[in-house]
Amino acid sequence: MQPDLAFSILPPAAPGSTSAAEDPNFNCAHVRRTRSGRGSALFEHWDPARVDESFWREMVWLRERCEFVSSYRLGDAWGEPWWVLVYVRRNSPHRALLEECFARSRRADGPNEDLSAAFPAPPKRKEVPAPGR
């Protein structure tokens, strides 16, 4: 079974990257701060190499299997903005409906949210046609 939706604080791996070492998203300041423990005191008790491997695998999975549909800004905790990013699985039988629902979400960040300030290869929203078009 595969999830139809994925919620993450991570961007997808950058297009064309084949390792965490060369991936600009994995190595950007935003993801580095998250890898070092922003968002959870538990990180200090975990093996940093395993956290990095887990994050990299998630980022690759998002790039290979999902489309970015929405972001929800969490605020300026830890001195800067961060987001929950929402992805829908490309081959989900419910993809069109899910994309439409998130496109209408009142809580989602507006189209002017500039994720490129945080991610060198920011996730891109797919244009979703209005119902009935």
Burial class (CB in 10 A: 0-12, 13-18, 19+), 10: buried
Number of domains making up the chain? 1
In whole angstroms, give the CA distance from residue 16 to residue 12: 11
> Is 70 part of any domain?
yes
Rounded-to-integer distance, Cα 84 and Cα 41, Å: 18
Instruction: Tell me which residue range forms the domain holding 110.
Output: 5-117
Q: What is the pLDDT along the chain (133 residues), one digit of tens a residue?
A: 789 999 999 999 999 999 999 999 999 998 998 888 776 777 778 888 998 999 999 999 999 999 999 999 887 766 778 889 999 999 999 999 999 998 888 888 865 678 998 999 999 876 655 555 4
Cα gap 50→98, rounded to integer Å: 32
48 lies in a domain?
yes
Cβ(121)–Cβ(14) under 8 Å? Answer: yes
Q: Give the DSSP letter of residue 121.
A: S
Asked if 93 and 41 touch (Cβ cutoff 8 Å), the reply is no
Residue 14 confidence (pLDDT): 97
25 falls within a domain: yes
129 domain-assigned: no
